[in-house]
Amino acid sequence: MINGYVHPDFADVARVLRRQLPKKTAGGSAICVYHRGKKVVDIWGGTKNWAGDPWEEDTVAVSFSTTKGVTSTLLHILIDKGLADYNDPIAKYWPEFAQNGKENITIRTAMSHQAGLYAVTEQLEKSTDMLDWDLALRGIEEAVPAHEPDTKHGYHGFNYGHLIGGLIEKISGKTFRQVLKDELVDPLQLDGAHMGLPESEHHRQANLIPPKIRSDNFFVEGFLKQFETPIANFILRFLSLFIKNAYEFKRVFIFPFTEDKFCWNSPELMKAVQPAVNGHFTARSLAKMYAALSMGGTVDGVRLVSTETVEKMKQVQNRGSDQVLFVPMHWRLGYHRVFTAGMPLKNAFGHFGFGGSGAWCDPDRELSVAMTVNTGVGSPMGDSRMPILSSVAVKCADRVTKYAATSSKNKSQFSV
């Protein structure tokens, strides 16, 4: 059963959710859409855990790399306030970062995944080290770029959060959590946006439910258990057909999923600050943040950033093959292109996540779309659900715009 509100003009979005919800197993999802600054879809359905508890209005779900879009927005807000500049070296605010040839890496370079700091394995001994914020930041400080910065681009799957999150702390003089609260949660009155879920909010969490594996530790027991097994090596060879550099892919993504049992449903991970991968959100909160960006920086009378900063967010920083991923991402400053089912969106930007979640905006259409889920594994950029939803939402928005234009024309023809 689906609950919530849908404007009749966007009824097709509800049909997408109904089709995508699991029919014979546990799992749920929520979708929220804003158009022209107004919330037109706010729906949810399914279950939030194996016990069958229903997905509720306030359910939050870990959203993997969808988190990066929120982290990036925080840095844009600080820059928009004049606290830093995109072309400043990171070391200007974070002197310890200047080690091992990183002294000239700029904020722009880092936000567009051109810093060459994507390899997790060289910086931490085990995956659970990422739960220690200070230790992970020291790893970033001591890291050696995998290539000359600005000469290539490669997706910083895990390290983006500590790189940008650490920079946010250095620029603001506040903890990352405090910046999130001060600059996004409180101004927009978001009902679910956490990086490091407080214990008081754990009851709201949707547990991750992987396909066919009834285990919290599904990355270990499910998708690519270890790259030392024959089947995993076969999958790596298969991926190499599509991924420019399968070795780099392994260095970025596989290490945290090996035998030290990185558990995404554990209380320890829920409470940790990982601004690249463990944001816990409602779709409503994600859509509202992006609604502001779709409307020149303002929603519900609250200005997040200037129109000029939104224009900078839209600008593509690099094209061509990514060193880590298998498709050109057209990286913006902290966001990537929006994937749809055969419908290119020139100025849209956002971020999708590993489990199938995603959130984005299109300033051309004044449209924002967000989905949170607790089922699926997919790829580092999610699976087919988000592109399908995105396409349907765009078609609905275009239909509304076309009807409004036609109605206006007819009224002008018959006015007296």
pLDDT of 362 > 70? The answer is yes
Quick check: 226 pLDDT over 50?
Answer: no
> Which CB contacts under 8 angstroms, 24+ apart, belong to 4-11?
4/41, 4/42, 4/43, 4/44, 4/57, 5/39, 5/41, 5/42, 5/43, 6/40, 6/41, 6/42, 6/43, 7/40, 7/41, 9/40, 9/396, 9/399, 9/400, 10/35, 10/40, 10/41, 10/393, 10/396
Helix axes of 66-80 and 283-294: crossing angle, nearest 10 degrees: 40
CB 390 within 8 A of CB 340: yes
**Window from 67-76, 264-273, 389-398 with minimum mean pLDDT:** 264-273
pLDDT confidence tier of residue 102, bands split at 50, 70 and 90: very high
Predicted confidence at residue 248, as pLDDT, reads: 58
| Band of residue 321 on the pLDDT scale cut at 50, 70, 90 | confident
Return the higher-pLDDT residue of 89 and 251: 89
In terms of pLDDT, which residue wins out, 120 or 136?
136
DSSP string, 360-386: EEETTTTEEEEEEESB---BTTB-SHH
pLDDT-derived band at 342, boundaries 50, 70, 90: confident
**CA-derived radius of gyration, the chain:** 21
* Least confident window among 21-35, 184-198, 244-258: 244-258
Does the pLDDT value for residue 252 go beyond 60?
Answer: no
Q: What is the pLDDT of residue 211?
A: 63
The DSSP symbol for 248 reads H
Tell me, what's the pLDDT at 324? 85
Average pLDDT over every residue of 12-25: 94
pLDDT > 70 in the chain, percent:
82
Q: How confident is the model at residue 162 (pLDDT cuts 50, 70, 90)?
A: very high
Structural domains in the chain, sorted by start: 2-407 (3.40.710.10)
Packed helices 11-20 and 385-414: angle between N→C axes, nearest 10 degrees: 170
Contact 64, 264 (CB under 8 A): no
Instruction: Tell me: pLDDT of 116 over 60.
Output: yes
Q: What is the Cα–Cα distance from 57 to 94, expressed in whole angstroms?
A: 40
pTM of the model: 0.89
- Cα 86–chain centre separation: 21
Q: Identify the pLDDT of residue 202.
A: 94
Of the ranges 13-27, 121-135, 160-174, which one carries the lowest mean pLDDT score? Answer: 121-135
pLDDT-derived band at 255, boundaries 50, 70, 90: very low
pLDDT at 1: 86
**Which of the four pLDDT bands, split at 50, 70 and 90, describes residue 117?**
very high
pLDDT given for residue 234 in this prediction? 44
Residue 416: band (very low, low, confident or very high) from pLDDT cuts 50, 70, 90: very low
pLDDT of residue 200 exceeding 70, the answer is yes
Q: Is 45 helix (H, G, I), strand (E, B) or coil?
A: strand
Percent of the chain with pLDDT over 90: 70
Determine whether 29 is an active site residue.
Answer: no
User: How far apart are the C-alpha atoms of 227 and 277, rounded to whole Å?
Assistant: 21
- Asked whether 195 and 177 are in contact (CB, 8 A), the reply is yes
Contact 338, 45 (CB under 8 A): no
Please give the Cα distance from 42 to 13 (Å, whole number).
Answer: 10
Greater model confidence, 242 or 97 = 97
Which of 65, 172, 294, 390 is an active site residue?
Answer: 65
pLDDT averaged over every residue in the chain:
87
| Average pLDDT of the residues in 68-97 | 99
| β-pairing verdict for 302-303 and 193-195 | unpaired
